[in-house]
Amino acid sequence: MKIIRKLIAVPLVFVLLHVLAAEPTEQSVSPDAALATLNEGNKRFVDAKMSSSKPTAERRAATAQSQHPFAIIVGCADSRTSPEIIFDQNIGDLFVVRDAGNLVDDYELGSIEYAVEHVGTRLIVVLGHARCGAVQAALEAATAPGHVAAIVRDIQPAVQAAKGKPGDLLVNAIHENAREVADKIRKKLQVGDLASQVKVVSGYYDLDTGKVEWDKQ
């Protein structure tokens, strides 16, 4: 019985190692082309000219077996900031990672690395947004009850950096937070040689106009 198990286990291990060692997926779309597609979609959204037939059964069928999203979006969990809607995209277009305050830690970084290495995505967008409750909470206190404490703790550096700058403190802190998260991704992302192909940008979504503005990179 032991021998049979070994006979099965060896080929399984070989197959698994082979899969893990496979060449990373080639890029689906260049970062600049991906950014242009996001801008076009956001313009349709701002102008209330969104594509009317999403999601289509054809698109669902086309992506059911494999995905090649052209952009990774690190966004806030805020219900008003759904990337597929504000960029007017479809099923399979965006690889979305969301949590309150658009922060990244190990789970999020691992998700992003997966998208770069295995589904060919090269553009990473960190998207802050107007009146972000997480940043507002971090402005009001350095700690909070329960697990919200981790969120306000990790936004503190952005709050401190924004203090004393001209303009609205909350808006500045939201911009700063998105920029700092983008920097963290640049520093911590582990994608080997693919790093040179990856572009990380940060931006700000205006809840009133629907427009996304990009930070100077």
Stretch that binds Zn ion, among 60-68, 118-126, 127-135, 138-146 (CB under 5 A): 127-135
Q: Which of 85, 92, 99 is nearest to 115 (CA)?
A: 92
Q: Which of 170, 83, 171, 66 is nearest to 124 (CA)?
A: 83
Which of 34, 132, 200, 212 is the binder for Zn ion (CB under 5 A)? Answer: 132
Is 151 a binding residue for Zn ion by CB under 5 A? The answer is: no
Is 176 a binding residue for Zn ion by CB under 5 A? The answer is: no
Site residue total, Zn ion (CB under 5 A): 4
Burial classification of residue 150, based on how many CB atoms lie within 10 Å of its CB (0-12 exposed, 13-18 middle, 19 or more buried): middle
Check: CB of residue 194 under 8 Å from CB of residue 124: no
Sequence-ordered list of residues with C-beta below 8 angstroms from that of 87, at least 6 positions apart, any chain: 38, 41, 42, 45, 73, 94, 212
Stretch that binds Zn ion, among 8-16, 74-82, 158-166, 193-201 (CB under 5 A): 74-82
Least separation in angstroms between CB 207 and Zn ion: 10
Which of 42, 70, 78, 139 is the binder for Zn ion (CB under 5 A)? Answer: 78
**Which two structure tokens, joined as six digits, stand for 122?**
């090269």
Is 108 a binding residue for Zn ion by CB under 5 A? The answer is: no
Q: How far is C-alpha 73 from the geometric centre of its chain's CA atoms?
A: 3
Is 154 a binding residue for Zn ion by CB under 5 A? The answer is: no
Tell me how far apart the alpha carbons of residues 84 and 59 are, in angstroms, rounded to a whole number: 14
Stretch that binds Zn ion, among 56-64, 69-77, 83-91, 162-170 (CB under 5 A): 69-77
Least separation in angstroms between CB 194 and Zn ion: 29
Q: Which of 36, 134, 132, 128 is nearest to 74 (CA)?
A: 128
Which of 73, 76, 116, 158 is the binder for Zn ion (CB under 5 A)? Answer: 76
Is 155 a binding residue for Zn ion by CB under 5 A? The answer is: no
Is 97 a binding residue for Zn ion by CB under 5 A? The answer is: no
Binding site for Zn ion (CB under 5 A): 76, 78, 132, 134
